[in-house]
Amino acid sequence: MKNNDVLLSRRLIFDWAPPRFNQPLIGFLAASLLVHFAAFYLFHIVYPTTSSLLPAAARISVLNPKNPDDHRILDWAELHDPSALTMPKFRNDLVPDLVPRYRPSFSTTSPRPLPEPQPTIPPQTSSPSLFSAEALFPIRRKPVIGPTEQPFVTQLEFGHNLQNRHPMFSGSLPSASEVLEPTKFFVGVNRKGKVEYLFLWQTSGNDRRDSEAERFLRQIQFETGHATAWDLVKFRWGTSTP
């Protein structure tokens, strides 16, 4: 019978014999338990405990000038000035050496107001004769319904400093379909005669017309000069172009 069991176990893939008592595993568990007990005894019983400090109570201390101790602290703070120790030092004598002495070209230029245009005096017409053809044979004219709008031309005015550089432009001035306030620009013309700086000084109330005036000014060519010229340029908007 035993021989048959041995032959049968040799033919099977798995060993179906009852498990034996595992002595190494029992020894490892016992050693681990012993080490944990020794560590607990060493670090929690034998090792001296450290004293812990309680956190300070949340409070605010105000210095009292009448208290002698506080008065000495205030005198020391006034004498040594702790803020001077923490703030970075600043030397005024190094500023001119480190900062370049730059002055913009328009700092010495004060734009003068542009002269107002002189009102045009209509030509005087002679009084009609009593014996003219119109008086003897009056012509019936069609009645005019409503007031007639008279178109006026857009005008461009340059300040004295820019007028001396003789501005030259081609094309017609931009016009407006309605009555607008004049548009003013503070213009800077470089030595080559090109508009390099352009600042809106007074708006007409219409952003589209202001943009058209700005594009037109950038196309104007001036004569060359020895320095940058600054002055005002005014657009007097009209309903027709010259």
The Cα–Cα gap between 183 and 214 comes to 10
- CB count within 10 Å of CB 158 equals 19
Percent of all residues in the chain with a pLDDT value above 90, rounded to a whole number: 4
pLDDT, tens only, 107-159? 667 666 666 666 666 666 555 555 555 565 555 565 555 555 556 678 888 88
- CB count within 10 Å of CB 220 equals 20
Contact 65, 75 (CB under 8 A): no
Residue 195 φ then ψ, to 5°: -75, 110
pLDDT, tens only, 197-211? 989 888 888 888 889
Q: Tokens 């700086």 label which residue?
A: 197
For residue 178, the model assigns a pLDDT of 80
For residue 32, the model assigns a pLDDT of 93
More confident residue, 231 or 120: 231
How far does CA 163 lie from the centroid of its chain?
A: 35
Q: Provide the CATH topology of domain 152-236.
A: TolA/TonB C-terminal domain (3.30.2420)
Look up residue 164 and give its DSSP letter: T
For residue 119, the model assigns a pLDDT of 62
Q: Which residues pair with 184 in a beta bridge?
A: 202, 234
Q: Tell me how long the chain is.
A: 242
* CA-to-CA separations, 137 to 7, 129, 131, 144, in angstroms, rounded: 156, 13, 10, 21
Query: Cα(first)–Cα(last) distance of the chain, in Å?
Result: 133
The Cα–Cα gap between 167 and 223 comes to 7
